[in-house]
Structure 1
């Protein structure tokens, strides 16, 4: 029994995690630059910021809220999807094991019993969750969850001259 509809190769798995690592590093670098620029602007603006600074500081708050909300939504939908896939694979695995156990119990000959036992052992030894698929899916969920924050951080860094 195969548990997943596709099983990524180790190269694909490595590529997914490398993309996540690269995106995260880029996001952290952009965030550092944006914080540096905005902190300097806040310090120079003092207690009475001008209109341009007030707009920038307001934008900063709104963007953080929006990005956090979008990130949480992406993480939630990604985890629900991953959970559903795992539940379906596990259900299929349990059903196949039940069918194989019933076939074993209703065997009518020694040959049939040995064949059914081999089929049941094969199913029992198979894992319903493919570790490579699970690792690849996890990288995808994390990457999609960080995407809204990454997009805003890199856009702000470019706009503010930090990148």
Structure 2
């Protein structure tokens, strides 16, 4: 594998990691700000919160459970999809490798044998288990899994006027 074949996969991985890093920083900033505002409201409300505070506190619990549920569902379906894609690509690769090996075995001349051997090596080298592609896919999966939590945290920070 040379640099030209690594470059697109490496570029995609770098882009995905940077996007995940930026979204995680935004999530953590929003979360810290929302926790600060809500904790202050909780302390200020005391043992008898008013209707507005009770609504906000109720919203906190519901939003957290909804976001976690959506995040777990996104992660589960993402892993299933990733597994299916990898299984399909591996299956296609096995069939292509088998066909190329069969062609090599049925060669009728030295020239044909050399050409088919080169074809088999090319097919065998194109493994679907490219670590850079797998890392990039996993990074996208983490982004999709955190999206519900990120969305709620940033929306709350905007709604509460702290972001």
TM-score by length of 1: 0.86
Judging changes above 3 Å, is the alpha-carbon distance between structure 1 residues 8 and 84 closer, same or farther for their aligned structure 2 residues?
farther
- Conserved? CA contact 1:79–1:141, under 8 Å: yes
1:107-148 deviation line (CA, Å, top 9, x unaligned): 222222222222222222222133343233222221111111
Q: How does 1:22-61 map to 2 (within 5 A)?
A: 22-61=22-61
Alignment-derived partner of residue 135 in structure 1: 135
Distance in 1 of aligned mates of 2:136 and 2:8: 7
Q: How many aligned positions are there? A: 157
Deviation at 1:155, TM superposition (A): 1.1
Alignment-derived partner of residue 112 in structure 2: 112
Deviation at 1:8, TM superposition (A): 4.0
Alignment-derived partner of residue 75 in structure 2: 75
Alignment-derived partner of residue 3 in structure 1: none
Which runs of 5 or more residues in structure 1 are unaligned?
Answer: 1-6
Alignment-derived partner of residue 100 in structure 1: 100
- Conserved? CA contact 1:34–1:157, under 8 Å: yes
Judging changes above 3 Å, is the alpha-carbon distance between structure 1 residues 66 and 8 closer, same or farther for their aligned structure 2 residues?
farther
Moved more, 69-78 or 127-136: 127-136
The alignment's C-alpha RMSD in Å is 1.8
Distance in 1 of aligned mates of 2:85 and 2:99: 21
Distance in 2 of aligned mates of 1:14 and 1:128: 20
Which runs of 5 or more residues in structure 2 are unaligned?
Answer: 1-6
Deviation at 1:9, TM superposition (A): 5.1
| Larger relative helix fraction | 2
- Conserved? CA contact 1:8–1:132, under 8 Å: no
Distance in 1 of aligned mates of 2:65 and 2:116: 58
